[in-house]
Amino acid sequence: MHDRTDQALVQRVQHGDQQAFALLVAKYQRRIFRLISRFVGDPATAEDIAQETFLRAYRAIGNFRGDSQFYTWLYRIAVNTAKRSALSGARSPVLPESVKSSEQDETFPRQEQLSSMDTPEAVMASRELVRAVNAAMEELPEELRSAIVLREIEGLSYDEISQMLGCPVGTVRSRIFRAREAIARRLRPLLGTRTDERW
């Protein structure tokens, strides 16, 4: 359903309908911003890169033939734009607080369920945990970070990630496993888990 809708909008853009492109931007801008924020630490820089991503997509949309999903194509533009920004001196990738808090609205339990977690000790521990995850993500090689972000944060299937990253599913599984292990090594001292447990 979404693929057909995107394809119809793309065709309208290719025939000069700028409003159709505005609809694509509205649909994907938050997702693209969240994705880029995993690679760029500064929210303002991430927003600039997201805008540049959509500008590049608009200029190149005449070349989009529908061989992949529109978001797959847009994702590649976003990652390439973020890479160019990094090469020109952008900050190292982290998970900014502004993006994390926007995701909590979608993924965290309702406020009444959080009351037992609101003690000062729990708040301090959770902040330390977030810092550890951020540090672990920042240290991952780009190919591992891309795979784990797409799986754990974007919620894509292994097949979708394989298509986006242009590598076999087996490679995707290996990268995700290695990324999880690297993050787990960082978290074990904080969580008190054994070496045979992930977290």
The residues spanned by each domain of the chain are 2-87, 109-191
Interatomic CA distance for residues 32 and 82, integer angstroms: 11
Interatomic CA distance for residues 156 and 113, integer angstroms: 28
Rounded alpha-carbon distances, angstroms, from residue 6 to 2, 20, 64, 80: 6, 9, 12, 21
Interatomic CA distance for residues 93 and 120, integer angstroms: 28
Q: Is the pLDDT of residue 48 over 60?
A: yes
* Average pLDDT, integer, range 129-139: 78
What is the domain class of 109-191 according to CATH?
Answer: mainly alpha
Residue 175 Cα to chain centre, angstroms: 15
Interatomic CA distance for residues 19 and 27, integer angstroms: 12
What is the domain class of 2-87 according to CATH?
Answer: mainly alpha
Rounded alpha-carbon distances, angstroms, from residue 156 to 7, 71, 72, 138, 161: 20, 12, 11, 21, 6
Q: Residues 33-47: pLDDT tens digits?
A: 988 888 777 888 888
- Flag whether the pTM goes above 0.85: no
Q: Residues 159-178: pLDDT tens digits?
A: 999 998 999 999 999 999 99
Smallest CA-to-CA distance from 11 within 78, 75, 66, 72 is with 66
Sign of CA dihedral 138, 139, 145, 148: negative
